[in-house]
Structure 1
Amino acid sequence: MNNRAVIPAALAFIAVFLAAINLRAGISSLAPVLGDALAAFGSGGSIAGVITAMPGLFFAVVGLVAVPVATRLGLSRTLLVGMVIALVGLAARPWVGAMWLFLVLTALIVAGIALANVLLPAWIKSHGGRHVVALMAVYSAILSLSGAIGPLSILLFTGPGAWRWALFLWAGFSAAQVAVWAVVAARAGFDFPSVSSPTPGAGTPAGLKSLWRSRTAVALMLFFGLQSMHAYVQMGWLPKILLDYGHPAETASVALALVGGINAVGGFAIPFVLDRLDRIYLLPLIFAAIMATGYLGIWFTDAAVPLLWAALLGIGGYCFPTAIALIPARTRAPLITARLSGFVQPYGYLIAAAGPFLVGVAYQITLDWSLILAALGASCLLMAAIGFFAARGGDIDDEIAVQV
């Protein structure tokens, strides 16, 4: 790569902000209007299952091909391609008249978002310069905020076709993103990093082993997968848990929003904390313990003071920005950052996708949340141990370098 310094800082911050705000809202905005959309097409629960399964599946599958595509087009151009694909889906999806087209366009949206999901950390590492930590903070915080505000778009519209406008709203944000990233891609040119890219302290390894040979990379992938699993479980099942414990729907909604809001605060703060904290391996231990306390608090108190337990789950969710920030923190060369992101996120999302499904199966069998909450609390201990190892590991560049 030969154009690492061509992106001005102001443009980089605007570009990362717009990319991050589009990383979840286009998906999460569908949840509160899914029933209206299914009714409009005369579709049933099986289609709803397909739609809700798409994000985890596409994040995994498309994530695996993101880096290979970027090696041919460059990071910025591949990001732009993904954003254009998502824009087409967001702009057209609300207005189609057939469910199969609705499904195809939803798949385009998720696929386009999946490309940015994997490549944006590598882009920040490559173009961020001395602003890498601040850019990662913006990325993590706004990504969490994106998931929280997406469902709120339905509140802006009323009437029979409100669900269509609630979905179409995010096409405007996507269009702004495409416009800015077209400028970024034009300035950056081909910007996929090479092994020989001049990176301070990176050296020039003669070759690179598979990331499966790096204990730190594998630990980080497992940590990312487990924390994502908990995030999906909370998004999908926390309201149902609180409803079953006798709380009104309003309380359940506020609790879930509280989790998302606290996540956004942590997303901004954690990259700076990691940059200044010597013993960063303590963070996964602390956050996983707090998350476990949230689950066990719901169990032992029959969900009394639900907002307290939701707040603890939100703080425990700081495992997500910790995992994301560790991707550039545990690598030196932008090439390794790109490869690591393309390894950690796709395989991690495969782990994450299993969580809500298994919770649903367990609840269908037991019709009780006690054992499920206990299992979720226990899995936090596993997440703590793996996160401790991932955060304490060395530079992945060294672990996969072939010595000659």
Structure 2
Amino acid sequence: MTRRPTRVFVALGLLGITLLALNLRTAVSSFSPIAHIVGEEIPLSPIALGVIGMLPPLVFALAGIITPVLSRRLSLEAIVVASLAVMVAGFALRSLATSAWTIGLGTVIALLGMGIGNVLMPAIVKARFPKHIGPLSSFYVIVIAVSAFLPPLFAAQLAEGQGWRISLAFWGAVAACSVIPWIILWATDRNSSAIGSRSKAAAPSPARSRTAWTIVALFGVCSLGSYALFAWLPQLLVEFKGLDPIAANLQLSLYAILGVPAALIAPAIVTNGRFIRPAAIAGVLLWAGGFLVILLGPASAVTWGVAMTGLGQLLFPMSLTLIGVRAATVAGAARLSSFVQGWAYMIAATGPLIVSILQSLTGSWTPALVFLVVVTLAALPAALLVDRPNDYEAGVTAPAERKA
């Protein structure tokens, strides 16, 4: 049998990971910049906009439940192809919407495809580049960050020039193009079997693993804080600290940008293995300290508080890398990723809602910020225990390296 051109498939694997990551936040950030334009044609009440804003963590949590079922029947490549096709369908429905509920339904469908991609990423990296988990994790987390801030740069201009339907459909076209390398890999990869069939050993349950719950706590508190900030930081800074709207939006941009250096640093720390606990403790304390500075400091110190929370985002790439490192097999990484992200995003979904309820009931942002400080510090025990001996897939021997 002719040996396949390994370098070509390595390149296809890298291209596929890049394009998949580039699609994992576009549904989250492509709608809000043009919501006012859409509202001129389709009535969008504050409640409808609020529900749409709450959908990402809820649907991502749902994806954590669905993906293990798919992985028992389909290969990684097949699931990626399906997830990108679901994204395309969701964007198409949004672009053809005639009511708020069809926009919401299209958003749910697109987010479901993205959530499945989120869950699969650690397993994909482990399957195709098992000796390069750290660098590849840094890379795809940075690309995910790019997928979050690219749509706001172009969505409004495209909507004003070509119409909001074209603006939303454009990101569906990006997803459609991204499926090409995955179709090639799916069609030509001889190892493209169902993930669950690759290991003959009894599948360990992440729910019985202290390692898994530790990662859930770190991922969950980072996601909760992040979604709370994306939902409320500009308004909070305007009302609580007296910043003007432009300055408040710039603070949110600062927070988002600081996720990039965090993504560069954290995976290297995890794969090195020497400073995981100090880094996890630092991440938790940066989050809590940032919220405290915003709560207690003067307006002039807001930038420092926001910067601290931005650097605290290192818990996100750290958690994703831990999934790949702590799992011994590709199937184990897929199960662990599904479990961690399912629970973490359910935790994250409560953040914006609780902040909203506390602010509405009290008329002040102080209780909401106190809540964020307390819930962040609740993850400190997990940070202290993160480098204890791994009990997930303990004793399971990793299979031979798979060619990309």
Q: TM-score, normalised by structure 2?
A: 0.89
| Aligned partner letter, 2:172 | A
Q: In the alignment, what sits opposite 2:44?
A: 43
Mapping of residues 149-168 of structure 1, within 5 Å: 149-157=150-158, 159=160, 162-168=163-169
Q: In the alignment, what sits opposite 2:13?
A: 12
Q: 1:399 to 1:216 in 2, by over 3 A?
A: farther
| Aligned partner letter, 1:175 | A
Mapping of residues 103-142 of structure 1, within 5 Å: 103-142=104-143
Question: Is the Cα contact below 8 Å between 1:141 and 1:264 reproduced in 2?
Answer: yes
Q: In the alignment, what sits opposite 1:281?
A: 277
Q: Distance in 1 between matches of 2:139 and 2:208?
A: 31
Question: Is the Cα contact below 8 Å between 2:93 and 2:102 reproduced in 1?
Answer: no
Instruction: Pick one of 173, 191, 194 that aligns with 1:192.
Output: 194
Mapping of residues 377-396 of structure 1, within 5 Å: 377-396=373-392
Q: Distance in 2 between matches of 1:350 and 1:288?
A: 19
Higher alpha-carbon deviation: 367-376 or 392-401: 392-401
**Aligned-pair CA distance for 1:98:** 3.5
Q: Distance in 2 between matches of 1:257 and 1:19?
A: 23
Q: In the alignment, what sits opposite 1:333?
A: 329
Q: Distance in 2 between matches of 1:196 and 1:117?
A: 21
Do residues 227 (structure 1) and 222 (structure 2) align? yes
| Aligned partner letter, 1:191 | S
Question: Is the Cα contact below 8 Å between 2:328 and 2:393 reproduced in 1?
Answer: yes
| Aligned partner letter, 1:354 | T
**Aligned-pair CA distance for 1:156:** 3.0
Question: Is the Cα contact below 8 Å between 1:214 and 1:399 reproduced in 2?
Answer: no
**Aligned-pair CA distance for 1:169:** 2.8
**Moved segments of 4+, more than 6 Å:** none
Question: Is the Cα contact below 8 Å between 1:227 and 1:317 reproduced in 2?
Answer: yes
Q: Percent identity?
A: 26
Mapping of residues 246-285 of structure 1, within 5 Å: 246-285=242-281
Q: Distance in 2 between matches of 1:7 and 1:193?
A: 23
**Aligned-pair CA distance for 1:160:** 7.7
- Report the count of equivalent residues: 391
**Aligned-pair CA distance for 1:395:** 4.6
Do residues 318 (structure 1) and 314 (structure 2) align? yes
Q: Distance in 2 between matches of 1:354 and 1:247?
A: 26
CA RMSD of aligned residues (A): 2.4
Q: TM-score, normalised by structure 1?
A: 0.89
Provide Cα deviations, 1:156-203, integer angstroms capped at 9, x if missing partner: 336386433432332232122112221222233533345765xxxxxx
Do residues 213 (structure 1) and 208 (structure 2) align? yes
Higher alpha-carbon deviation: 211-220 or 50-59: 50-59
**Aligned-pair CA distance for 1:44:** 1.6
Q: Distance in 1 between matches of 2:227 and 2:168?
A: 21
**Aligned-pair CA distance for 1:7:** 7.4
What residue ranges of structure 1 are gaps of 5+ in the alignment?
198-203
| Aligned partner letter, 1:36 | I
Q: Distance in 1 between matches of 2:171 and 2:99?
A: 21
